[in-house]
Amino acid sequence: MKTNFVPRNVAGLAQETLSDTPITIISGARQVGKSTLMGQLIEDKHARVVNLDDLGDRNAAQADPDGFAAQFPEGILAVDEIQRVPELLTSLKANVDRDRRPGRFIATGSANLLSLRGAHESLAGRAETIQLEGFSQDELEGRKADFVSFLWELPTRGQPPEQSDIDRRKYLQLAITPSFPEARRRTARSRDRWLRAYTERLLTKDTTDITGILYPDRLETLLNVIAARNSSEFVAARIGRDIDIPARSIPAYLHALQSVFLTRSIPGWSNNIANRAVSTPKVSLSDTGLAAHLAGVELDALEAAISSTITGGLLEGFVAGELAKQSTWSTRSTRMFHYRDDENREVDFIVEDRSRSIAGIEVKASSSPGHADFAGLRYLRDRVGDQFVAGVVLHTGQRAHSFGDRLWALPLSTLWRN
């Protein structure tokens, strides 16, 4: 095993998909480790790798996509950066329709394939997509956490988990450290240069190629605003006024950022019990290390302004990222929302399973949560009744406490040490 090798928790799911599905797609932002994971999946298999970032491979795929897709019928054809030749998706479909054996193709994509210009095929029924993000905290510690399943078991567990050994400063450090493997290997100064170049490449090249957006300066402005207001509700009209861009253009720019996995959107939650809920989504950068870099904030400043909007937004975005990563391998199928009603009762995250049961999660930068921090969770518990499984306040302190019926205050590290 390589030095500093970090096993990816989605690897088991990806191997399973290869064994029962004709096309496996590993999708995610650039530099999160897709090619490395693909290489591990085919390491002991009869496979041929082609990279569409390579001009020769790309020219061949564009000139004869059908022939390109059919070039290695005796094994697995592994296609890196398939979004570079969208028409190849149609050729993969035709090839699979003639031979539906599992494990025919594996591909990586640094863009949402449904957003590609020139893509006329979704591969529905023929492909499964494995979403890969940067390293999760449990992966970095050699664990495989499933916090959502832990929440559903929490009411029957008895005593809360033991005390955490992580303090508030360390939590803030974790939140502002990028999850990209390459960035993590660099010194602080070198990391800043890498993040700057990474963002420039995505905004000036990838988003233009994928979505046709012609104004990278506007994309950069919008991205910087999202970074500074991380995890805030996204109101296009308000943002358009603030950055002097027509409000009608904002959704297209946001879609472009989402297409290359730079941002994450969490919709508002409502049902017929908790009325008058706000449907506006919350938007954050997918990587809070990148958000901190773009917002120009450092550890000492965040700790000094622990109650500031930017500190809270970065911690909330950090939790959203960990929940999203774990959802890929969780044993419980759930969707993630946020909640706010017209009386400003709020819950940072609501996780809902297929039976419509919910768990609520609040994130607090404070290390000493109190009764008032549970106001939104208590409201939901009382209104939703038996559908409410558990409510937790994740905080930067080191001890866990019960706060009444189905309510707990837990150290933030419980998220990946459950």
pLDDT tens-digit readout, 231-277: 999 999 999 998 888 889 999 999 999 999 999 999 999 876 555 77
Q: Please tell me the total number of residues recorded for the chain in this structure.
A: 418
Task: Report all structural domains of the chain as residue ranges with CATH numbers, in order of start.
Answer: 11-131 (3.40.50.300), 137-415 (no CATH)
Across 339-375, b (16+ Cβ under 10 Å) vs e yields bbbeeebebbbbbbbeeebbbbbbbbbebebeeebbe
- pLDDT at position 337, please? 96
Give the pLDDT of residue 3: 46
- Number of Cα atoms under 13 Å in the Cβ half of residue 51: 8
pLDDT at 206 (0 to 100) = 87
In terms of pTM, does the model score above 0.75?
yes
Q: Which residue has the tokens 């499933």?
A: 146
Q: What is the mean pLDDT of the chain?
A: 92
pLDDT attached to residue 119 = 56
Give pLDDT tens digits for 204-233: 988 888 877 878 889 999 999 999 999 999
Sign of CA dihedral 378, 384, 386, 389: negative
Strands 282-285 and 232-233, bridge-based pairing: antiparallel
Strands (DSSP E) found in 111-174: 127-131
Highest mean pLDDT among 28-42, 151-165, 306-320 belongs to 28-42
State residue 2's pLDDT score: 45
